[in-house]
Structure 1
Amino acid sequence: MSDYQLDDELRDALREVTNVAMGRAADLLARLLDTYVVLPIPVVNLLERSELNMALSSLRSVSSVSAVCQGFVGSRISGEALLIFNDTSFADIAELTSYSGDVTPEIELELLMDIANILIGACLKGLAEQLDLTFSQGQPVLLGQHVNIEDLVRNSSSGWQRALTVEIPYRLEGHSVDCDLLLLFTEDSINVLENKIHYLME
């Protein structure tokens, strides 16, 4: 599998399927926060672990981030979802959720977990429904608060070295809220995922 190359057909099909799933997640977030969610086209790549921090386009120049990781598995497809927030986002998120107190690290963590549950859960559900499978999700785990991207990738406990990645940058219009949802599928999952997507597209 180490010599596997991502073909354009699979890349385009996975992008299309993800588009539908991320739209559902964005709709839930928009209704929760009563604001418009800007959605670019998802970015699909086959990446080495060392390349991950370079792939985070919307957060590449950010000095400090906070992130949650949640594993998922189903029908011989496994991976993890990372939700990575620009740390400047939390004041705006607190305002949008009508929280009026001090935004302490504990409150930031609560906001991070709440939004992670919405975006990761809805996105995985949207993918699973289209591909006719069911994902079991692990408990969300805090990867770090107020750390840089390099430390975040280094601190990740999972053992993958190469993964099929889908990057979904979310931005709230008119607010300083930027986050990246990253879906990382293990190498062992790629053939199964490819078969599922080809069957869907026939």
Structure 2
Amino acid sequence: MSTDVLDEELRDCFQELSNVAVGRAADLLARLLNNFVIMPIPVVNLLERAELSMALSAIADASSVSAVCQGFTGSKIAGEALLIFNDASFQDMAELTQFKGEITEQIELELLMDIANILIGACLKGLAEQIDVSFSQGQPYLLGQHINIEELLNRNGSTWQRLLTIELPYKLEGREVNCDLLLLFTEDSLAILRNKMSYLLE
């Protein structure tokens, strides 16, 4: 079976694994913020880089976003986690974390990094446990604050031409907090992921 094609069976399998991982991350976030987290079903695709630009534009309809990126690798699987945060979310985030005072860019950055650590860490751990790998995570870094999607993509220096993307949207009930977590796997990782999930495909 060709490794550069994401057939329906494999897509469903990724979706099932992602659903479990995203549920764990949402549970952690809900406990931390004492607020119900709404989670749509993860969206799994195999995208060319140009298509990723269009996909990001579609999911981040806000004119201004902030984003954090974190690389990960393990068992010859490599990728990046990209957390895109709607800038309208910061006031509500500050309230939910009991922050009092002026919300400066530094405070926004701390909030963004806190959420990124929770969501990215929990999602990767949830996926890794299900396919029996251990991911080593790089240092998270800021791609930008208060920028548009086009700028965001230009700042992400990845040279990958085709990516397996898992889009995990999060929204807090009754709040203006919404963000998108994208797990981006290199094309070379697809064959290994397929092999790791073979027990689910039988």
**TM-score normalised by structure 2 residue count:** 0.96
SS state at 2:188 partner? helix
Cα-to-partner distance string for 1:124-179 (whole Å, 9 max, x where unaligned): 00000000110000000100100001110111022212100000000000000110
45-54 vs 18-27, which moves further: 45-54
1:4 deviation in Å? 1.8
Does residue 169 (structure 1) correspond to residue 191 (structure 2)? The answer is no
Separation in 2, partners of 1:61, 1:73: 30
Could you tell me whether the CA contact under 8 Å between 2:47 and 2:162 is conserved in 1?
Answer: yes
Greater than 3 Å deviation, 4+ residue runs = 56-60
Which runs of structure 2 are paired with 1:11-90 in the superposition (5 Å)?
11-56=11-56, 59-90=59-90
Separation in 2, partners of 1:131, 1:7: 19
Q: Which runs of 5+ in 2 are unaligned?
A: none
Report how many residues are paired.
201
Q: Which runs of 5+ in 1 are unaligned?
A: none
Could you tell me whether the CA contact under 8 Å between 1:58 and 1:179 is conserved in 2?
Answer: no
Could you tell me whether the CA contact under 8 Å between 1:56 and 1:180 is conserved in 2?
Answer: no
1:53 deviation in Å? 3.0
Cα-to-partner distance string for 1:5-52 (whole Å, 9 max, x where unaligned): 210000000000000000000000000000000000000001111222
- Alignment match, 1:198: 198
Separation in 1, partners of 2:166, 2:57: 12
Cα-to-partner distance string for 1:41-84 (whole Å, 9 max, x where unaligned): 00000111122232237743210000000000000100000000
SS state at 2:5 partner? coil
Q: Which amino acid aligns with 2:90?
A: F
Separation in 2, partners of 1:115, 1:81: 13
- Alignment match, 1:184: 184
Separation in 2, partners of 1:122, 1:57: 25
Could you tell me whether the CA contact under 8 Å between 1:65 and 1:149 is conserved in 2?
Answer: yes
CA RMSD for the aligned pairs?
1.5
Separation in 1, partners of 2:3, 2:195: 18
SS state at 1:56 partner? helix
Cα-to-partner distance string for 1:89-129 (whole Å, 9 max, x where unaligned): 01100000000111110000000000000000000000000
Could you tell me whether the CA contact under 8 Å between 2:172 and 2:178 is conserved in 1?
Answer: yes
Could you tell me whether the CA contact under 8 Å between 1:80 and 1:184 is conserved in 2?
Answer: yes
Could you tell me whether the CA contact under 8 Å between 1:59 and 1:86 is conserved in 2?
Answer: no
